[in-house]
């Protein structure tokens, strides 16, 4: 990512050589070229920018506005000031769903990226080509399958009395676990399925990064007597830190919006024990038709994700290796 950005900037600014003042005529000519370049650039980015304005910024501003109103879709929005925001502090269901969401985010960051790294390292071993492809596809597969279909299989695994997991749990003498409908284990089930589903994507990113690690550097280290762990810790980890950063950012943003995995498994139950904040937003918006309040919650979620992402980009300097 940064390497390409770097290339672009150096290509766009050919006059950037330090200490070499450009001649008088040269500046003018270059700036026409630059202007043309800029125009082409804008033309190329226009579709994205239009899309961003229409589908992201527009709705975002609308949500900000609606969060200050009482709006049930059928009658015109009525301005109520900060009422919706004040209401949030008394909403126990919101507190529960936010709590669950934070747990899901924490679990996603650790488990998805942890497993993804392990799988990526395993796949990156010297294996026959065909085998590498098979493993890579196998791990990536869950990401491609519509969760709604897969849910039938997971439910068959998790079901308390007829499920396959509990068949073995009981067979080993354990107490049957209510994976789908106990306040604690419903969350665990969601985390398992969410990890299973998303580990492949992060793994692919890690695999790509691992293949970029210079072989000579690793060999040089080995030559100097470094063992496998030292090579991994001192060379591989720093060399793939950009991929790690990308993966962590993506999993955090994704996990804050976790929805499908819960819907198909527990529908948020029992009660709100496994419900995420996005599910709660959907319920308030489309079941209770309380668009104003739903927008207010959506705005807080937006701000939280933005804040977390900003903090990450701040911290990035301290651990991400830029070239």
- Contact status: 279 vs other proteins (CB under 8 A): yes
Any idea which residue has 């709006």 for tokens? 71
Residue among 55 and 141 whose Cβ is closer to other proteins: 55
The only residue of 22, 41, 174, 183 in contact with other proteins, by rule CB under 8 A:
183
Shortest distance, position 277 Cβ to other proteins, whole Å: 9
Shortest distance, position 225 Cβ to other proteins, whole Å: 42
The only residue of 106, 271, 306, 313 in contact with other proteins, by rule CB under 8 A:
271
Shortest distance, position 241 Cβ to other proteins, whole Å: 21
- Contact status: 71 vs other proteins (CB under 8 A): yes
Shortest distance, position 219 Cβ to other proteins, whole Å: 36
- Contact status: 1 vs other proteins (CB under 8 A): no
SS3 state at 70: strand
- Contact status: 79 vs other proteins (CB under 8 A): no
Task: Please write down the HEC assignment for all residues of the chain.
Answer: CHHHHHHHHHHHCCCCCCCCCCCHHHHHHHHHHHHHHHHHHHHHHHHHHHHHHHHHHHHHHHHHHHCCEECCCCCCCEECCCHHHHHHCCCHHHHHHHHHHHHHHHHHHHHHHHHHHHHHHHHCCCCCHHHHHHHHHHHHHHHHCCHHHHHHHHHHHHCCCCCHHHHHHHHCCCCCCCCCCCCCHHHHHHHHHHHHHHHHHHHHHHHHHHHHCCHHHHHHHHHCCCCHHHHHHHHHHHHCHHHHHHHHHHHHHHHHCCCHHHHHHCCCCCCCCCCCHHHHHHHHHHCCCCHHHHHHHHHHHHHHHHHHHHHHHHHHHHHCCCC
- Contact status: 281 vs other proteins (CB under 8 A): yes
- Contact status: 106 vs other proteins (CB under 8 A): no
Shortest distance, position 60 Cβ to other proteins, whole Å: 6
Any idea which residue has 């709590």 for tokens? 99
Shortest distance, position 180 Cβ to other proteins, whole Å: 4
Decide: 255 and 105 in contact? Cβ < 8 Å. yes
The only residue of 288, 313, 315, 322 in contact with other proteins, by rule CB under 8 A:
288
- Contacts to other proteins from residues 121-160, by CB under 8 A: 155-156, 158-160
In degrees, rounded to 5, the angle at the alpha carbon of residue 94 between the alpha carbons of residues 92 and 96 is 70
- Contact status: 119 vs other proteins (CB under 8 A): no
- Per-residue x/- track, 31-70, other proteins (CB under 8 A): ------------------------xx-xxx-xx-xx----
The only residue of 250, 308, 312, 316 in contact with other proteins, by rule CB under 8 A:
250
The only residue of 83, 269, 312, 320 in contact with other proteins, by rule CB under 8 A:
269
- Contact status: 78 vs other proteins (CB under 8 A): no
The only residue of 104, 115, 201, 245 in contact with other proteins, by rule CB under 8 A:
201
In degrees, rounded to 5, the angle at the alpha carbon of residue 166 between the alpha carbons of residues 197 and 152 is 40
Q: Where do contacts with other proteins occur on this chain (CB under 8 A)?
A: 55-56, 58-60, 62-63, 65-66, 71, 73-77, 155-156, 158-163, 167, 170-171, 178-183, 198, 201, 250, 253-254, 257-260, 265-273, 278-279, 281-283, 285-289, 291, 294-295, 298, 301-302
């Amino acid at each position: 990512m940064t390497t390409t950005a770097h290339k672009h900037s150096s290509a766009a600014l050919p006059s950037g050589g330090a200490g070499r003042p450009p001649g008088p005529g040269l500046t003018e000519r270059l700036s026409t070229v630059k202007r043309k370049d800029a125009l082409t650039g804008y033309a190329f980015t226009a579709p994205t920018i239009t899309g961003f304005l229409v589908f992201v910024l527009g709705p975002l501003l609308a949500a900000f506005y609606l969060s200050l109103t009482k709006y049930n879709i059928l009658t015109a929005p009525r301005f109520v000031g900060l009422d919706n925001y004040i209401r949030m502090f008394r909403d126990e269901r919101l507190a529960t769903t936010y709590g669950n969401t934070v747990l899901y985010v924490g679990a996603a960051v650790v488990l998805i990226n942890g497993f993804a790294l392990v799988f990526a390292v395993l796949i990156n071993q010297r294996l026959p080509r065909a085998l590498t492809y098979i493993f890579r596809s196998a791990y990536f597969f869950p990401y491609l399958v519509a969760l709604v279909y897969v849910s039938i299989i997971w439910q068959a695994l998790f079901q308390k009395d007829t499920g396959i997991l509990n068949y073995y749990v009981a067979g080993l003498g354990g107490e049957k676990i209510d994976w789908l409908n106990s306040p604690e284990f419903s969350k665990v089930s969601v985390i398992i399925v969410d990890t299973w589903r998303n580990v492949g994507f992060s793994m692919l990113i890690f695999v790509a990064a691992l293949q970029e690690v210079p072989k000579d550097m690793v060999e040089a280290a080995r030559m100097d007597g470094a063992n496998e762990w030292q090579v991994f810790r001192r060379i591989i980890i720093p060399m793939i830190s950009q991929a790690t950063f990308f993966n962590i950012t993506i999993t955090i943003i994704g996990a804050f919006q976790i929805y499908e995995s819960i819907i198909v498994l527990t529908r948020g139950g029992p009660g709100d024990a496994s419900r995420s904040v996005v599910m709660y937003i959907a319920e308030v918006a489309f079941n209770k038709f309380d668009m104003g309040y739903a927008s207010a919650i959506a705005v807080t979620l937006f701000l939280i994700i933005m804040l977390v992402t900003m903090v990450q980009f701040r911290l990035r300097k301290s651990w991400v290796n830029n070239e």
